[in-house]
Amino acid sequence: MSLFKLKIQFIKYFTILILLLFMNSYCNKNNFENIYLEHYQKYPLMELDDYYKLTYQAVFGVKHLLIDSTKAKQYLLSELSSITPKNEELFENISIDSSIVRINLKTFKYKSYNPDLLFNIMKYSAEKISGSEDTFYEYWNSLLKLIDNKKILLDPIVAKKYTLYFEKPLKEKHHSEIYIKSYDPHYRIVLKNEFEKFYKI
C-alpha cells in the first residue's frame, strides 16, 4: 500500500473516531437531560440546590463518606431508627447508565435489610464512583438549556447567577428546605449492581 493511501485511510479512521466521540458526548448530555426531566416530573418543587445535588451525586457519588466513616455509619443507623418503613420504590436512578442509584431507606427498612451490609456497599461505591468537573458542567449546562426552553420551570436568570457562585473545587450541597418538607427524602447513594449482589430484590 502506498504512503498516500495510508494517509487517506488514517484520515478516514481519525474522522470516524472524532464523530464517535462527538456523538457519545452529545448522547450523554441528552440522556442526562432525561434524568433531569424524570426528577422534575417526580419532584416538581425541586430548586437549584436539589438539581445541583442530583448532578453532583451522579458524577462524584458521596466522597465525604470516606472522611469519617464511623460518623457516617452512626448517622445511617440513627436515620433508619427514626423513619417509618414504607413499601415504595427501592431504587431511584440518578445516572445515564442506571449504574448509580439512590436507595430509599424507608423501603430498605420495610424489607428489613441489613444496614451493616448497606454501609459496606456505600463505602465501596464511594471509592469506585469518580467523575470530572468537566462532566458535571456538561450535565449542568444541559439543565440550563432545559430551563431556557421552559421544560423545567425555573428562572433562567437566577439559574445562571447561581452557576457563577459554584465553589472551586465543587462541593456537595444540601437539599432545599422545600424539597425536604415536601418529599421527606431518606436515601443513600450506591452502585446498583453491588447492592444487587448482596440483597435479594
**Coil vs helix vs strand at 188:** strand
- Residue tagged 440513627 (cell numbers): 78
| pLDDT at residue 18 greater than cutoff 50 | no
Residues in Cβ contact with 133 at an 8 Å cutoff, skipping those fewer than 6 apart:
169, 170
Tell me the mean pLDDT in the region 187-197: 96
Confidence of residue 16 (pLDDT cuts 50, 70, 90): very low
Residues 65 and 67: their CA atoms lie apart, in Å, by 6
Mean pLDDT of the chain: 88
Share of the chain above pLDDT 70, in %: 85
Dihedral sign of CA atoms 108, 65, 53, 141 in order: negative
182-to-67, 106, 176, 185 alpha-carbon distances in Å? 30, 16, 10, 9
Q: What is the 3-state secondary structure (H, E, C) of 66-106?
A: HCCHHHHHHHHHHHHHHCCCCCCCCEEECCCCCCEEEEEHH
| pLDDT at residue 63 greater than cutoff 60 | yes
Query: Identity (one letter) of the amino acid at 177?
Result: E
| pLDDT at residue 5 greater than cutoff 70 | no
**Coil vs helix vs strand at 46:** coil
Question: Grid coordinates representing 149?
Answer: 426552553
Please tell me the predicted confidence (pLDDT) of residue 66.
76
Query: Identity (one letter) of the amino acid at 131?
Result: G
pTM beyond 0.85, yes or no: no
Confidence of residue 15 (pLDDT cuts 50, 70, 90): very low
